């Protein structure tokens, strides 16, 4: 799976081919089918490898639910920025293996330890995870298929959209932008 993930990091999801995967392993491409039923299973295995890299939250004695959620989302973001092509995969393929279930279970347990109910904890986690994945999707999202030719609108085009241009004048700081929204989301969830 390290090999598969490396291929995706290099060539994108569409670039991970059963045939290329076999070749990369120095094996007949069809040998893969002895271990995996189909390409979906390969994707799921990659997703699990990435989630493994995210790892488990450390037990923090003085933690609040705010800090637990904040840390979990920052950890997820850090790892997914190393594997940008996998973001749509992570958001899209529900992997229900012991390791991923145990990770969610531990997070909820930590939230319950801070005083939340389990359903409250799950709802809050779901919100924060959605925001984190969505931000990553638009931030590092790699286009499906061939990329568009012009990625940035030239200045004379933007002149026709003054409000948008004024909004973009200060530049774009991905980390600051992400933190702003996560902070706001957690703050707002406090008044639940």
Partner DNA sequence: ACCTGAACACCGTTCAAGT
Token pair in block for residue 179: 């933190």
Q: Which does 192 bind (CB under 5 to 8 A by kind): its own copies, DNA, none?
A: its own copies
Query: Could you say which residues in the range 118-147 bind DNA, by CB under 7 A?
Result: 145-146
Q: Which does 134 bind (CB under 5 to 8 A by kind): DNA, its own copies, none?
A: its own copies
What angle do helix axes 98-113 and 39-54 make, rounded to 10 degrees? Answer: 40
Name the residue nearer to its own copies (CB basis): 24 or 139.
Answer: 139
Q: Which does 109 bind (CB under 5 to 8 A by kind): its own copies, DNA, none?
A: its own copies
> Do 24 and 7 meet the contact criterion of CB atoms below 8 Å apart?
yes
d(CA 143, CA 135): 15
Rule CB under 7 A: choose which of 1, 6, 30, 106 binds DNA.
30
| Contact region with its own copies (CB under 8 A), list: 3-11, 20-28, 51-59, 131-139 | 131-139
Say which residues have a Cβ less than 8 Å from residue 127's Cβ, sequence separation at least 6.
Answer: 185, 189
Query: Could you say which residues in the range 96-125 bind its own copies, by CB under 8 A?
Result: 96, 98, 101-102, 104-106, 108-109, 112, 118-119, 121-123
| Contact region with DNA (CB under 7 A), list: 17-25, 112-120, 121-129, 169-177 | 17-25
Name the residue nearer to DNA (CB basis): 27 or 138.
Answer: 27
19 binds DNA (CB under 7 A): yes
DSSP H helical ranges for the chain: 2-11, 18-24, 39-54, 65-82, 87-92, 98-113, 118-140, 155-158, 162-168, 174-190
Greatest Cα pair distance, the chain, in angstroms, is: 58
């Amino acid at each position: 799976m390290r090999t598969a993930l490396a291929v995706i990091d290099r060539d994108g999801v569409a670039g991970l081919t059963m045939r290329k995967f076999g070749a990369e392993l120095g094996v007949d491409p069809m040998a893969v089918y002895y271990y995996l039923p189909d390409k979906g299973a390969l994707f799921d295995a990659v997703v699990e490898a990435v989630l493994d890299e995210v790892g488990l939250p450390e037990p923090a004695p003085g933690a609040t639910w705010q800090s637990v959620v904040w840390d979990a989302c920052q950890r997820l973001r850090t790892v997914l920025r190393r594997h940008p092509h996998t973001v749509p995969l992570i958001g899209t393929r529900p992997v229900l293996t012991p390791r991923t279930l145990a990770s969610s279970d531990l997070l909820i347990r930590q939230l319950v330890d801070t005083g939340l109910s389990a359903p409250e904890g799950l709802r809050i986690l779901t919100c924060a995870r959605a925001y984190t994945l969505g931000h990553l999707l638009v931030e590092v999202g790699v286009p499906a298929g061939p990329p568009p030719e012009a990625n940035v609108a030239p200045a004379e085009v933007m002149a026709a959209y003054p409000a948008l241009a004024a909004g973009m004048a200060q530049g774009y700081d991905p980390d600051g932008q992400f933190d702003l929204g996560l902070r706001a989301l957690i703050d707002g969830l406090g008044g639940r």
